[in-house]
Amino acid sequence: MASGIFALLDDIATLMDDVAVMSKVAAKKTAGILGDDLAVNAEKASGFVTDRELPVLWAITKGSFLNKLIILPFAFLLSAFVPVVVTGILILGGLYLAYEGAEKIYEYLVPHEQAKAIKTVKDLTKEEIQAAEKAKVKSAILTDFILSVEIVIIALGTVVEEPISTQIIVVSIIALLATVGVYGIVALIVRMDEFGVKLINLNEEDNSISDKIGRLLVSALPKIIKSMGVIGTIALLLVSGGIFTHNIDFFHHLLESWPSLIKDFLMGLVIGFVVLLVVTLVKKVFFKKKH
């Protein structure tokens, strides 16, 4: 009996050692996509009324957890039985990310009529603010779903030769870290101005160290949020381009001498605008038929 317990403990210890080693490998493999995930979601989670930032961010975080709960079981099953489907899902997700990135660039270069007449938060009614929040949360959760698929598949690829128990634990750890880590940092970013104000009000002295740090945080936030919009768009195109070059032979062997960063960005950009053109044409045809 005692020998059986010790054998079980030894097996658990061995499993934990394997999990620790493979988790480090998987974390390194997914580091790039996690950075892109942070940039995209920081941009998505910004732009709300101050007292609504954390509630909205929590809604997105809950959606992200739900995404992982949906993705993980399907990823393990598909990887075991029909791995080709996993690649197909990745490519479809890449098309969506490329489309979203291209659309952001197009809207910046050619503002829509709605964008030219944007109201300030003060001009919006309570119902309009709530509708805008719901729309942005829905968009953020959808984007998170696609990025989560990429993170889970990359992590799964690092442990594909390991026993199923190791696969489940390692990939689940990476998925959990992706959500907690990314949205924890996003929460710090969107609330840094509040922290800055608290530092300024910490004492009655003028021009103290806390005042200087507080003013720096308050003044830096708008610049960080604005830059996140640019970084997030670039990240969308890089991630989508990487999906195409890593999973489609034609794109993998195209421009082989180019740096992968530039190649992935161009792939995402070109394919994104092709998808944007197709979607726009389909919308116009559908609109004409409807009227």
The predicted structure's pLDDT at residue 30:
54
pLDDT confidence band for 270 (50 / 70 / 90): very high
> Is residue 283 classed exposed, middle or buried when 0-12, 13-18 and 19+ CB atoms within 10 A define those classes?
exposed
Give tens-digit pLDDT for 72-85: 888 888 777 877 77
249/32 Cα distance (integer angstroms): 22
Best CA proximity match to 20, nearest among 166, 130, 208: 166
Stretch 89-113: mean pLDDT:
83
- 137 pLDDT above the threshold of 50: yes
The predicted structure's pLDDT at residue 45:
63
- 143 pLDDT above the threshold of 90: no
Bigger pLDDT: 123 vs 68: 68
**139 in Cβ contact with 44 (< 8 Å):** yes
156/176 Cα distance (integer angstroms): 14
pLDDT confidence band for 10 (50 / 70 / 90): very low
The predicted structure's pLDDT at residue 122:
53
How many CA atoms lie within 13 Å of 36's alpha carbon, on the beta-carbon side? 25
Question: Which pTM was predicted?
Answer: 0.67
Q: What is the overall mean pLDDT for the chain?
A: 76
**Amino acid occupying residue 148:** S
Give tens-digit pLDDT for 31-60: 555 665 666 666 666 656 566 777 888 888
Distances (CA, A) of 210 to 112, 188, 191: 43, 18, 17
How many domains would you assign to the chain?
Answer: 1
Residues 273, 276, 282, 284, CA torsion sign: negative
Best CA proximity match to 175, nearest among 71, 28, 76: 71
Range of the domain at 66: 2-290
Best CA proximity match to 198, nearest among 184, 213, 220: 213
**177 in Cβ contact with 148 (< 8 Å):** no
The predicted structure's pLDDT at residue 44:
64
The predicted structure's pLDDT at residue 7:
45
The predicted structure's pLDDT at residue 13:
45
148/246 Cα distance (integer angstroms): 17
If one counts every other C-beta atom within 10 angstroms of the C-beta of residue 91, the result is 14
